[in-house]
Amino acid sequence: MRILLSNDDGIYAPGLKILYKELKKLGQVWVVAPVEEKSTTGHSLTIHKPLRITRLSDDFYSVNGSPADCVYLAVRQIIKAKPDLVISGINRGANLAQDVYYSGTVSAAREACILGIPALAVSVAIDFKNLNESQVNYRSAAKMALKLIKMMGEWKLPRHTFLNLNVPDMPFAKIKGIKTARQGFRFYGGNILRRKDHRGKDYYWIGGCYRGFAKEGQTDCSVIEESYASLTPIKLDSTDLQFMASLPEVLK
């Protein structure tokens, strides 16, 4: 199997290195990742500045761009062919509910999907309020990803669909398994920090704290809370077909 591995936490992220070791059990692996952290950059391609590819070692490359840039350049310039699979992760933090629109990790998998390549985003659901960096269970997420990839060989992933896997931050033996679940909805605080620079001009920090999720049946959020890994198939087409059906075909 030929696998492309990327992420949004950067080429030196511990989750990337741990996942790389697991994926090597399946075949050839190229790693193409941002030179620095690109969390919450969403799905963007860099067209207003030059991009540079740096080869760090055999099959390890960094790019001074976004996660989507990394996948785009990897397929068209580095590998110069479509790999069998693109994996993005392991992200330091969950990508649940509407997080998928902000996530650089998910955007790398989405870019692969746009290019017609089966793709999987992998994240570990860290509790940032009680975070101990040295104890994050990246290995559990890597083992769960490997288990899922082996299962994927039995499926035919639909065109324009990719997979989003979130894994609880706990030892592998304590994870109850994998459950499929739809996207939920998470709540975040809307606090904005205002500061002044040395010239007296205002500047701002945004990024609210997590406040919980909507309790509305089995969602990716509830599955993680139950100590299961959550698997959500995501389509490129986000049309609200139900609402569209209620609209007149021609709007006057």
The pLDDT, as a whole number, for residue 132 is: 83
Of 39, 37, 42, residue with least CA distance to 11:
37
The percent of residues above 90 in pLDDT, for the chain, comes to 88
Q: Please give the mean pLDDT across all residues of the chain.
A: 95
pLDDT at res. 251:
81
| Structure confidence at residue 252 (pLDDT) | 62
Enumerate the domain spans of the chain. 2-184+217-246
Residue 217 has pLDDT above 70, yes or no: yes
**Confidence check: pLDDT of 219 > 80:** yes
Which range, of 18-22, 43-47, 110-114, 246-250, averages the lowest pLDDT? 246-250
**pLDDT, average across residues 145-150:** 96
Task: Reduce the secondary structure of the chain to three states and give it as a string.
Answer: CEEEEECCCCCCCHHHHHHHHHHCCCCEEEEEEECCCCCCCCCCCCCCCCCCEEEEECCEEEECCCHHHHHHHHHHHHCCCCCCEEEEEEEECCCCCCHHHHCHHHHHHHHHHHCCCCEEEEEEECCHHHCCHHHCCHHHHHHHHHHHHHHHCCCCCCCCEEEEEEEECCCHHHCCCEEECECCCEEECCCCEEEECCCCCEEEECCCCEEEECCCCCEHHHHHHCCCEEEEEEECCCCCHHHHHHCCCCCC
pLDDT at res. 209: 84
> Residue 243 and residue 102: Cα distance in Å, rounded?
24
Task: Read off φ and ψ for residue 6, nearest 5 degrees.
Answer: -140, -175
Tell me, what's the pLDDT at 144? 97
Distance CA 91, CA 83 (A): 21
For the stretch 63-119, pLDDT in tens is 999 999 999 999 999 999 999 999 999 999 999 999 999 999 999 999 999 999 999
Q: How far apart are CA 218 and CA 167, in angstroms?
A: 16
The confidence score (pLDDT) of residue 153 equals 84
Burial of 107 (0-12, 13-18, 19+ CB in 10 A): buried
Q: How far apart are CA 72 and CA 45, in angstroms?
A: 9
CA count, 13 A, side-chain hemisphere, 190: 0
pTM attached to this predicted model: 0.94
Which residues are bridge partners to 28 per DSSP? 2
Instruction: Categorize the per-residue pLDDT at 224 as very low, low, confident or very high, splitting at 50, 70 and 90.
Output: very high
State pLDDT tens for residues 121-143.
999 999 888 888 889 999 999 99
pLDDT (tens digit per residue) in 3-35: 999 999 999 999 999 999 999 999 999 999 999
| Top mean-pLDDT range of 131-135, 180-184, 202-206, 245-249 | 180-184
Question: In the prediction, which pLDDT does 200 show?
Answer: 95
Q: Beta strand pairing status for 229-235 and 161-168?
A: antiparallel
Topology of domain 2-184+217-246, per CATH? Stationary-phase Survival Protein Sure Homolog; Chain: A, (3.40.1210)
